[in-house]
């Protein structure tokens, strides 16, 4: 039976409790219904899809467009300038496949495996610094710089520029002051324009040089697509990996029985990473979508052009899909999840992210037999974001293994 749209969007409790632990709220919403029309923190109405079966179907539904142009009522949410917005996250099938083919050569299994030594050496070097300090913010000292080394190397970003880019991206999603988002976007735009201009003058063997060649010689990329793809690779490859490493460490510390089991049997690490992805992925929601026609999801009618958000993390904690979903279990037999998406928009860098997390966590567990929080868990600081469940800092104490 089709349900009619409610007259007004329901307010959501976007407060400290939600930012610290959003999962009880998602559990309640799943119980109450598959789809809810809610108001985001800025008052914009969205349709939130909460159950796994509907989220998975929505990720492959061709009627749900990721292109804001397809929003008949005019999209009013967060937008990047055109020079940063023409990337794989915002483009539908025809152009998406064209751009994906151009970028996919950077993420072949052979090339990713070839990066193993780089990631391992970077993780060891960062672990050396942690050992010397004893107590530190794991994000600043390890989880943030490790993916910067990897993605920075992929695009040959100068070492001194990588931290600045990371700070600007962080300010976009967790601004400390009004106006900081627009300022950070402007910095990122100018940074990438400068980087592209430099690489045009002195091309190398990196991915960005290859994309510039496709733009300039074969005309397979527009200028906006070129800069937008560079932004997406740098943003997704650093921001997501950083939070997955920090979320993984925190989750293991808070589940000492699972941490002990992993230390006792390091061969469980790949499965542990999949469980971390299911249980503690920072991205709460998939990229917003817009129905190109009136559709039904879970029996709820959604008008064309409205904004639909697919609840990835809610789906991965759905008891209709996962047994005892709120239990963190690195021995879980069914490790399937939607952390990297599903279908056409499945994350292109998923294999690289898995490798980074496995090496990062593996290095920390091997180098530090005692890994603990340096503050009570209730004092941890979380981003004030309804889209991502991510730590601002992760203060830890480490005890190096005996030589």
Give the chain's domains with CATH numbers: 10-399 (1.10.630.10)
Highest mean pLDDT, choosing among 112-116, 131-135, 169-173, 392-396: 392-396
Per-residue pLDDT at 392: 92
How far, in Å, CA of 159 to CA of 268, rounded? 34
Closest by CA position to 37, among listed 63, 4, 85, 14: 4
The pLDDT value given to residue 313 = 95
pTM (2 decimals)?
0.88
Tell me: the pLDDT tens digits for 224-283?
Answer: 777 888 888 877 888 889 999 999 999 999 999 999 999 999 999 999 999 999 999 999
| pLDDT at site 7 | 45
Query: CB under 8 Å to 367, separation ≥6 — which residues?
Result: 124, 127, 130, 131, 398, 400, 401
Structure tokens at 367: 């180098």
């Amino acid at each position: 039976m089709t349900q009619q749209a409610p007259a007004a969007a329901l307010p959501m409790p976007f407060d400290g409790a939600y930012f610290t632990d959003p999962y009880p709220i998602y559990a309640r919403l799943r119980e109450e219904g598959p789809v809810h029309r809610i108001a985001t923190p800025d008052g914009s109405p969205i349709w939130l899809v909460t159950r796994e079966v509907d989220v998975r179907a929505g990720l492959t539904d061709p009627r749900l467009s990721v292109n804001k142009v397809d929003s008949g009522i005019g999209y009013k949410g967060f937008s990047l300038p055109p020079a940063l917005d023409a990337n794989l996250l915002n483009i539908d099938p025809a152009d998406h496949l064209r751009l994906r083919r151009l970028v996919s050569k950077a993420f072949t299994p052979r090339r990713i495996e070839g990066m193993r030594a780089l990631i391992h050496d970077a993780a060891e070097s960062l672990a050396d610094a942690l050992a010397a300090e004893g107590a530190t913010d794991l994000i600043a000292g390890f989880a943030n710089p490790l993916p910067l080394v990897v993605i920075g190397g992929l695009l040959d970003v100068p070492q001194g520029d990588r931290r600045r880019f990371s700070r600007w991206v962080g300010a976009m999603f967790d601004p400390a002051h009004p106006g900081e988002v627009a300022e950070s976007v402007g910095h990122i735009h100018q940074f990438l324009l400068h980087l592209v201009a430099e690489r045009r003058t002195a091309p190398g063997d990196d991915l960005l040089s290859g994309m510039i060649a496709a733009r300039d010689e074969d005309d397979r990329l527009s200028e906006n697509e070129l800069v937008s793809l560079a932004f997406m690779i740098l943003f997704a490859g650093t921001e997501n990996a950083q939070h997955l490493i920090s979320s993984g460490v925190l989750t293991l510390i808070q589940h000492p029985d699972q941490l002990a089991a992993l230390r006792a049997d390091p061969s469980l690490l790949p499965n542990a990473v999949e469980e971390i992805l299911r249980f503690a992925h920072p991205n709460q929601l998939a990229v917003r979508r817009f129905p190109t026609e009136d559709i039904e999801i879970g029996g709820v009618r959604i008008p064309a052009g409205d904004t639909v958000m697919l609840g990835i993390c809610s789906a991965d904690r759905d008891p209709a899909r996962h047994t005892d979903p709120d239990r963190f279990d690195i021995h879980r037999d069914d490790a399937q999840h939607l952390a990297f998406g599903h279908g056409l928009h499945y994350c292109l860098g998923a294999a690289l992210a898995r490798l980074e997390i496995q090496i990062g966590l593996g290095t920390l567990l091997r180098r530090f037999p005692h890994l603990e929080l340096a503050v009570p868990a209730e004092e941890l600081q979380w981003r004030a974001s309804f889209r991502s469940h991510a730590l601002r800092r992760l203060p830890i104490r480490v005890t190096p293994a005996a030589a």
